[in-house]
Structure 1
Amino acid sequence: MKIVVLGAGAMGSVFGARLHLGGAEVTLLDVNEAHIAAVRETGLSVALDEGTQVLDIPIMRPEVFVDPSDLILLFTKIFHTDAALQTIRRHLNSTPVLSLQNGIGNVERIARHLPMERILIGMTMTPAEFIAPGKVASYGPATTQFHAADGQHRQLLDDIAAAMRAGGIDAAIDPDIQAAIWEKAAFNCAMNGLCALSNATPGAIGASEAGRTLAFEVADEAVSVARASGVAADPDKVRALMRHAFAQHVFHEASMLQDRKAGRRTEIDALNGAVSETAARLGIATPANNTIARLVRLFEDAKDWMTHHQSKA
């Protein structure tokens, strides 16, 4: 398969590397000039459980990509979705898009750019870290679930799953993908939000009684909102994922913590913020998610305010 990875940050680069190792013809698209230069000069260094490899994978800015492909794998931050798809709009006339992005509402964002029958949606629990330009790492199982947004099974789904499995990704075609997406969102609302606010890793959150209690409370609220929305999310699955993270991803830096430490915008609006907004429409109280969302936004607003006013001082 010819697969284009749109958004070659930590997760996009890890997936691109694994798909490349499995035999797919991969092209990475990104706007990080330092990352592009490093991959072009010395290759993409990817550290996996099976060892570190340096891979020769084409990488470029999205607007200069012209070759046809079988699939666009979307890994940009959710707030970059519209702009990213606009840069490759000439490819959207025929090429399907698979979003494995975090959060809630990705189908609706992508549907502004192409018809539902070419939108694929999924989630991945694959850990990924951006070490430096040209260097990424992923330790632990690479598990991914996906399906067509319109619920129709196609040969393309089987082809994608085969390409992923060839690269060591535990891929599953899941007809109940919305439940899996909400379960991961509930997990991320707890783990990403608390890690970002506490400057801690899952091991530290799990070792704290206060941390565990609050994490479960945040996740349970999100699951309740999913179920009220008609999605059969399973709270026991979410709690099992969290316990696994507490025990196995002890020192993993959650993406929202990485973003906050780097002074980047977070995906809070697609996680705790989206849960809070959906809950408000449904008349459900989500005090823990409301507070997490407000605190993370405070970090972002305060940084912007300080940067603006210090520049004038």
Structure 2
Amino acid sequence: MKIAVLGAGAMGSVYGARLARAGADVTLLDVNADHVAAVSRDGLRVAFDEGEDVVQIRAMSPDEFVGPADLILLFTKVFHTDAALAAIADRIGNAWVLSLQNGVGNAERIAAYVSPDRILVGMTMTPAEFIGPGHVASHGAATTDFYTASGHVDPILDRLANLLQAGRVTARINPDIHAAIWEKAAFNCALNPICALTNGTPGSVGASKDGRALADAVVAEAIAVAKSCGVTASRAHVDDLLAHAYAYHLMHEPSMLQDIKAQRRTEIDALNGAVVALGAQNGIPVPTNRMIAQFIRLAESNACFRATHAT
């Protein structure tokens, strides 16, 4: 299978490496010129639990990509989706597009560039860290649920599941994928911004009575909004995800904390911000998610202010 990974940061590079090791023909596409150059020159250095490996893999900017591809694996930040797909729009052809991005509403964004019956959506709970150009790490279990966005059955599901399994990813073909996406979103709405705002980790939040209470309030609101949208998301499933993170991802720095530290834009609008917007549409009160979204946006604004007024 020819696979183009669009957005080869931490997660995109880790999955690209796993798929390449499984035998896929993988190309990494990213606008980070230093990362692309390092991978092209030295290969992609990846630290897994089973050891470190250097994977020889193509890397280039999206502008250089000529195609074709059987699958485009979309791993950009949600707010870069439009620009990333627009950059290769004339070379997508008949490829499937799989979004494993954070948040909700990704299929709708992709549908502006790809036929709805060629869109796959999913969620992954795989930890990933960008250490430096040409160097990433992933420690912990790699799991991915996915399905066609439209709900129809297609041979691509088994082909992709087999390939992911060969790359040591626990792959689940999940017809109830929209519920799974909302459950992960609720999990991320809790841990990502709480860790970002407190310089914490899943372990430290889980060890705090206040941290757990705040996370529980966020999740309760998010699940209520999901159900108001007709999605049968399970609070119990989210609680299981939180318990696992509290116990086994003790010192992991979630992506939003990494973004805040690096003074980068976060994905708050696709997480808590989306819960707030959909809650308003459907008459569901979400005061905790609203407050957290406001605090994250303030943190982003503060970083921008400091950069603008630095002497």
Q: TM-score, normalising length from structure 1?
A: 0.98
Corresponding residue for residue 179 of structure 1: 179
Q: Which moved more, 1:205-214 or 1:33-42?
A: 33-42
Q: Cα deviations across residues 7-47 of structure 1 (Å, max 9, x unaligned)?
A: 00000000001101111111100000111111122211111
Corresponding residue for residue 18 of structure 2: 18
Matches within 5 A, 1:1-313: 1-310=1-310
- Letter in structure 2 aligned against 1:143: T
Q: Which moved more, 1:299-308 or 1:283-292?
A: 299-308
Distance 1:242 1:91 in 2: 40
- Letter in structure 2 aligned against 1:11: M
Distance 1:118 1:195 in 2: 36
Query: Is the contact between residue 70 and residue 94 of structure 2 (CA under 8 Å) also seen in structure 1?
Result: no
Q: TM-score, normalising length from structure 2?
A: 0.98
Give the number of equivalent residue pairs. Answer: 311
- Displacement of 1:309: 2.8
Q: Cα deviations across residues 112-132 of structure 1 (Å, max 9, x unaligned)?
A: 111101111111011111111
Query: Is the contact between residue 104 and residue 185 of structure 2 (CA under 8 Å) also seen in structure 1?
Result: yes
Q: Which moved more, 1:38-47 or 1:165-174?
A: 38-47
Distance 1:198 1:243 in 2: 19
- Displacement of 1:303: 1.5
| Secondary structure of 1:93 counterpart | coil
Query: Is the contact between residue 69 and residue 92 of structure 2 (CA under 8 Å) also seen in structure 1?
Result: no
- Letter in structure 1 aligned against 2:306: M
Taking every aligned residue pair, what percent have the same amino acid on both sides? Answer: 58
| Secondary structure of 1:59 counterpart | strand
| Secondary structure of 1:86 counterpart | helix
Structure 1 vs Structure 2 CA RMSD: 0.9
- Displacement of 1:92: 2.4
- Displacement of 1:264: 0.7
The answer for unaligned runs of 5 or more in structure 1 is none
Q: Runs ≥4 in structure 1, deviation > 3 angstroms?
A: none
- Displacement of 1:2: 0.8
- Letter in structure 2 aligned against 1:147: Y
